[in-house]
A and B are shown apart, each in its own frame.
Chain A
Amino acid sequence: MSGYVEGVLIVLAINIVYAYGAFLPIAAGQLNLGVAGFAAIGGYVAAFLSNKVALSPLAAIPLGGFAAGLIGLAVAIPVLRTRGIYLALATFALGEIVRASILNLEVVGGAAGYPVTAFIGLPTIGLFAVGIIALVWLLFAMRFGIAITAVHDDERVADLMGLNVRAFQIAAFTLGAMIAGVGGGLYAHAFNYIEAQYFSISLSISIVLYVLLGGTQSVLGPLLGATVFTLLPEILRSGAQWRYVLFAVILIVVMVLRPQGLVTGGQFRRFFGGRSNAERAEQAA
């Protein structure tokens, strides 16, 4: 395998992990635009643990994910009181707070970035990605998956059916933060260097796009979205400077032709609107 192909596959595996981190809250009806912030927390904690505590990356990366999950849980409780566009803005601000804080943390290199000594290769990264896919698939084969979709589709009726809507929303957000944190840890150890600038809003937006374009209601959506939109720019490489234009055109075409994502069963609706059509009709009746 050439170095180029291996490099692309590493980026692909990490992007798939990120995509599942964004998928869980989206499946529950919450748009998390701070997913890069949680990736940063996971990445820096894992890097710090393997650098300073000399932990194996195999232990440091899950611990980094755990740390991101804990922060996710702590912020989910107040932040998930907002909804729709306000939730998106609050999570965006959260990601920026994390990034700005890291810039000022000299213990992890501040603005100069943070070199990471330990290294993991494609097989390890690939196994982590497979593990994350299996974990999310398993969750959606349990009552958890039905409940998450129910909360996404109709919060009020889910509540009347006895579902603890808030607990499910917090769980989805926290698990998503944890998975994004694992992605950050993988990135840090794959490239042996991280800097705050990498975990910017544009990373969050790319990750969310993978999910929205891949499909938000199917466990396969993030996998497909991340794969297509990681590999597409590489395939278009022969187009030189024009490939980004072509890529953007393809994005728009996909959005027009498949607004519910490449994998069916999902829709954008509810992300920016408050109530469902059914709820509006019920209110009017």
Chain B
Amino acid sequence: MSASEHILQLDDVSKHFGGLAVLENLSFSVRRGSCTGLIGPNGAGKTTVFNLISGLHRIDAGRILLEGIDIAQIASRHRIRHGVARNFQNIRLMPHLSALENVQIGQHWRNRGLFGALQPVKLMPGNRWREEARAALAEAGLAAYERATVGNLPYGVQKQIELARALMANPRLLLLDEPAAGLNPVETDALLERISTICGERGVTLLVVEHDMQFVGALCTDVIVLNFGRKIAEGTPEKIRDDALVKEAYLGIETIEQRHAS
């Protein structure tokens, strides 16, 4: 396992909320350029892993190495500069901003400080940052919503805007928390295609939490399975499907009484 092969490495990561241990000595690695699925039953700690990597919550113990740098020690605000961007399970766009302005938030770390704050992004029609954000919206097929206040837009559209915002940060590692949840089959297929493109063309490494196993099977090259804050399996989607421990975590152990009852 060479350091350069892995973009992200969690070392003995623990997180407690009060007396509840959500993650205990969790370790796993994500291959550079892979699309890694993070799966597990409800309460397994998947979203907590995302919150620790992105900096929404502080880590209790362990290390989170991104390209060899322990980002757990870096202030949450600065982590995006190291290449981490994410979406949220419950969409968290800025409801009072337009779709375009939300996408421009994704540019912020690249255009920061006093010079960035005074960047006339709405004043000049040809402003470079404005044009970049407009192009990103158009590429996602969202040009029609440019000026719409996002609070009033349909759920599926909001999810796409959130993805566009995360991509605007030019991440090296993109964390997607249930990107397909709440989408209809047509939207899910479109999302699958879009995410595959992101993975392939831009060389972004993806870490995806998803409950839709078909989606994971179609998208992911690697899968990591969590249960009660521990890693119980990892491998290719095919291998995971046949893993006894994984079946047990999802379906429970079939007891003799149940067998007789059925």
Contact = CB atoms under 8 A, between A and B. Distances in A.
Interface of A: 138, 140-147, 149-150, 152-154, 156-165, 168, 171, 217, 265-267, 278-279, 281-282, 285
A146 B98 CA distance: 10
Contacts of A156: 56
A180 to B, nearest CB: 21
Interface of B: 47, 54-56, 76-81, 86, 88-92, 94-97, 101, 104-106, 108-109, 111-112, 116-123, 129, 149, 165, 169
A171 B104 CA distance: 20
Contact of B105 (A144, A161, A267): A161
26 contacts: A138-B123, A140-B122, A141-B121, A141-B123, A142-B119, A142-B120, A142-B123, A143-B117, A143-B118, A143-B119, A146-B97, A146-B101, A149-B97, A150-B94, A153-B94, A153-B95, A153-B96, A157-B92, A161-B105, A161-B109, A161-B165, A162-B112, A162-B169, A266-B96, A281-B90, A285-B47
Contact of B56 (A138, A143, A149, A160): A160
A114 B225 CA distance: 74
Contacts of B80: 160-162
Given A150-B105, A163-B108, A141 B76 contact: no
Contacts of B116: 143
A160 B111 CA distance: 15
Contacts of B47: 285
Contacts of B106: 161
Contacts of A142: 117-123
A157 B120 contact: no
Contacts of B79: 160
A162 B109 contact: yes
Contacts of A140: 122
A18 B80 CA distance: 38
Given A143-B119, A147-B108, A149-B94, 12 more contacts: A141-B123, A142-B120, A143-B111, A145-B122, A149-B101, A150-B97, A158-B105, A159-B77, A162-B80, A266-B96, A281-B90, A285-B89
